[in-house]
Chain A
Amino acid sequence: MSRLAEKPRFDPYELLGALESRRVAYILIGAFARVIQGADEVTEGIDIVPSMRDENINRLAHALDDLGAERIDGKELDVSPESLVKEAVLALQTERGELKVVPEPAGTRGYDDLRWHATGEHIGKGLRPRVASVNDLARMVAALGRENELPQLLQLRRLAELEVSRGIEL
């Protein structure tokens, strides 16, 4: 039986802090990244694209262990480069909320593609995660082609326009 019988309260600071303390290299994507970039939405989880280098996946495995992570589908959790490449999305429940590990998000080539335009953003409590750019976030949403995510896509397009009009190079 799962140790996480009750859904834990989402605490992005503790979640990201666990990754930072193990020096995991990752890029934030998904709804939480969109919020950091200015989108008007609410989420109770974090999505990351990790560097798939062996040593980084080892660090990620330690961080997930610290967080008491379990697979949402109930299968045994195996965090290795070989197992991760087989997963489109590894959905986990942790003691600090949901965490999705996405080795190669739709429309991208993964960490090495996204890191070029990702920026470190101060989100408080001493944390400065690297966050995918507005344009890359839009690329991912567009590539998924989900009709219910059209509002998110339109928001990202508008945010891109606003950033251009404020003279920020993405």
Chain B
Amino acid sequence: MTAGRLLREARLRARLSQGELGKRVGRPRTQIARWEQDAVDPGFGTLRELLRACGFDLHSELVPYEPTEDARLEKNVLLAPERRVGRMLRALGQR
């Protein structure tokens, strides 16, 4: 998850336009767009400020990193959607 994607998710969930969010935080709409596109990194403090302007907060905590799950997902991403569905249906049949 990137800062831009998290910001966009928060803004959409708050039902704000980029311009409306910009007004709330005193920044131009174009700056909000650059952050959302990950063209510019807002930094942790600014990101938190932006999320709070959308009515959310950033809950940060350290969680264990699971490399085995990552490896599974990386494998899935390489499969065509048709094969992803096929795999799931086979798993379903095995239940």
Complex interface: chain A residues within 8 A of B95 (CB): 42
- Give Cα A37–Cα B84 distance, bound, in whole angstroms: 8
A36 on the B face (CB < 8 A): yes
Cβ–Cβ contact A161 & B84, under 8 A: no
B81 on the A face (CB < 8 A): yes
Chain B contact-residue range equals 20 to 34
* Cβ-neighbour of A39 out of B5, B12, B76, B91 (below 8 A): B76
**Total contacting residues, chain A, CB less than 8 A:** 36
Complex interface: chain A residues within 8 A of B8 (CB): 135
Stretch at the interface among A49-57, A64-72, A85-93, A118-126: A118-126
B27 on the A face (CB < 8 A): no
Mark A128-170 against chain B: 1 for CB-CB distance below 8 A, else 0: 0001000100110011000000000001011111111010000
Cβ–Cβ contact A166 & B81, under 8 A: no
How many A-B residue pairs lie within 8 Å, measured between CB atoms? 75
* Cβ-neighbour of B76 out of A38, A108, A131, A135 (below 8 A): A38
Cβ–Cβ contact B2 & A38, under 8 A: no
A112 on the B face (CB < 8 A): no
Complex interface: chain B residues within 8 A of A39 (CB): 73, 76
Residues of chain B having any CB pair with chain A under 8 Å: 1-2, 5, 8-9, 12-13, 15, 69-70, 72-74, 76-77, 79-82, 84-86, 88-89, 91-92, 95
Residues of chain A having any CB pair with chain B under 8 Å: 10, 12, 35-44, 107-109, 113, 121-124, 131, 135, 138-139, 142-143, 155, 157-164, 166
